[in-house]
Amino acid sequence: MTIILGLESSCDETAAALVTAEGKILAHRLAMQEEAHRPYGGVVPEIAARAHVEALSPLIEAALEDANLTLDQVDVIAATAGPGLIGGVMVGLVTGKALAHAANKPLVAVNHLEGHALSPRLADPSLQFPYLLLLVSGGHCQLLHVRGPGNYARLATTIDDASGEAFDKTAKLLGVGYPGGPAVEQAAAKGNAKAVPLPRPLVGTAEPHFSFAGLKSAVMRAAQSGKYSTEDIAASFQQAVIDCLIDRTERQLAAHQGMTALVVAGGVAANQSIRAALQALAARHDLPFVAPPLWLCTDNAAMIAWAGAERYAAGLIDDLTVPARPRWPL
Ligand code: KG4
Ligand code: ZN
């Protein structure tokens, strides 16, 4: 049995997890930094990096204890090497390097996006390559043709804001709380999605990309007009995002035959209305719809350990000179 220790520290979650090469999750531990960042309404890189330093080692020990394992019994160390906030990425990667060196284990430097991209296969082992992945997180909004570990084609990306960023900025504008995505979703549940006329940037156009900046400005004007309730703006905003995501995703489904499934991953995939709309889209195209459970959608270390497992199985290991990369496209 091959056991992989995964470490994640690229944003505001510190996490350690142990999974097997067969996809069994032996332990997963996570520390959120929400409280530390709440006063600022967003993640403060310096605060995040310091918090990772404090949290990571105890989380690794706790995960090993949960799984009743010692470091010697771990076969592979996988750590996020980017993209993300460089201070945090360095904490996890350097910790991973130190463990790999001390215990004489192979190191796999994982692209955080690959962690999200492969996480659906941890959740559903029957999911086969290639699949169409909508990756929607705080920093990204992409459509990827996932062909295998290390083998991706980016079909579309955002030309301005990421979808999660749009949720976070809307939450700040509406004053509904932090973190933004879940707060907007909650407010939206009590509102009317047709109440506020908002744009659907790039919908129906021939180019494949996403855009959310214009939507954000329109939300700001709606909020400032004083004509609408917070709940109605939240619901209308969420519906506009859904319409953009569905239109762009459908375009790629129509253009690419042979995909085994429509898959969604990343923090925004925790949104129930977005999941429901994607599920309906997949059904219209006679495709299975795969979405990881909510805890696997937002940042965690099990997905990093799993990406490490897939890369290791494909012979993709790294040496101890591998750099931390704040920007690192898949
Ligand atoms: O993947 P993730 O945990 O971290 C990144 O790698 O970015 O994604 C975080 C993003 C945040 O922008 C957050 O507001 C958004 O995912 N998010 C949501 C929901 N839960 C988290 N967006 C919409 N609805 C949600 N329920
Ligand atoms: Zn993420």
DSSP state of 150: T
Say yes or no: 185 and 284 in one domain.
yes
- Closest ligand to residue 307's CA: 2
- Residue 124 resides in a domain: no
Nearest residue (CA) to ligand 1, atom 16: 267
CB 191 within 8 A of CB 237: no
Q: Would you list which residues are annotated within the binding site?
A: 112, 116, 135-139, 168, 181, 185, 271, 299
- Residue 318 resides in a domain: no
Say yes or no: 65 and 90 in one domain.
yes
Say yes or no: 99 and 219 in one domain.
no
- Residue 308 resides in a domain: yes
- Residue 326 resides in a domain: no
- Residue 309 resides in a domain: yes
Look at the alpha carbons of 257, 296, 165, 109 in this order and tell me if their dihedral is positive or negative. Answer: negative
- Residue 109 resides in a domain: yes
- Residue 329 resides in a domain: no
270 lines ligand 1 (CB under 6 A): yes
241 lines ligand 1 (CB under 6 A): no
Say yes or no: 91 and 155 in one domain.
no
What pTM, to 2 d.p., does this model score? 0.94
- Residue 324 resides in a domain: no
Say yes or no: 156 and 109 in one domain.
no
299 lines ligand 1 (CB under 6 A): yes
The identity of residue 252, as a single letter, is: Q
Residues of the chain with pLDDT below 50 are none
| Long-range pairs of 183-186 with CB within 8 A, sequence gap ≥ 24 | 184/234, 184/237, 184/238, 185/238, 185/271, 185/272, 185/273
Residue 196's domain comprises 129-294
Q: Would you list which residues are annotated within the binding site for Fe cation?
A: 112, 116, 299
Taking the C-alpha atoms of residue 312 and residue 292, their distance in angstroms, rounded to an integer, is 22
> What totals of helices (H) and strands (E) does the chain contain, helices first?
11, 10
Taking the C-alpha atoms of residue 167 and residue 268, their distance in angstroms, rounded to an integer, is 9
The identity of residue 94, as a single letter, is: V
Q: Is the peptide bond before 199 cis (omega within 30 degrees of 0)?
A: no
Confidence (pLDDT) at 75: 98
**Which among 287, 330, 241, 327 has a CA at the least distance from the CA of 10?**
327
Q: How many domains does the chain have?
A: 2
167 lines ligand 1 (CB under 6 A): yes
Say yes or no: 112 and 247 in one domain.
no
CB 87 within 8 A of CB 46: yes
Confidence (pLDDT) at 41: 78
213-225 helix and 163-174 helix, angle to the nearest 10 degrees: 10
Confidence (pLDDT) at 179: 82
Say yes or no: 290 and 300 in one domain.
no
Say yes or no: 146 and 282 in one domain.
yes
Say yes or no: 183 and 248 in one domain.
yes
182 lines ligand 1 (CB under 6 A): yes
> How many residues belong to the chain?
330
Say yes or no: 65 and 204 in one domain.
no
Say yes or no: 149 and 76 in one domain.
no
Say yes or no: 172 and 48 in one domain.
no
Confidence (pLDDT) at 38: 86
The CATH number covering residue 232 comes to 3.30.420.40
| Long-range pairs of 255-261 with CB within 8 A, sequence gap ≥ 24 | 256/132, 256/145, 256/155, 258/130, 259/130, 259/131, 259/132, 259/145, 259/287, 260/127, 260/128, 260/129, 260/130, 260/131, 260/287, 260/288, 261/127, 261/128, 261/131, 261/132, 261/287, 261/288, 261/289, 261/290
The burial class, CB within 10 Å (0-12 / 13-18 / 19+), for 280 is exposed
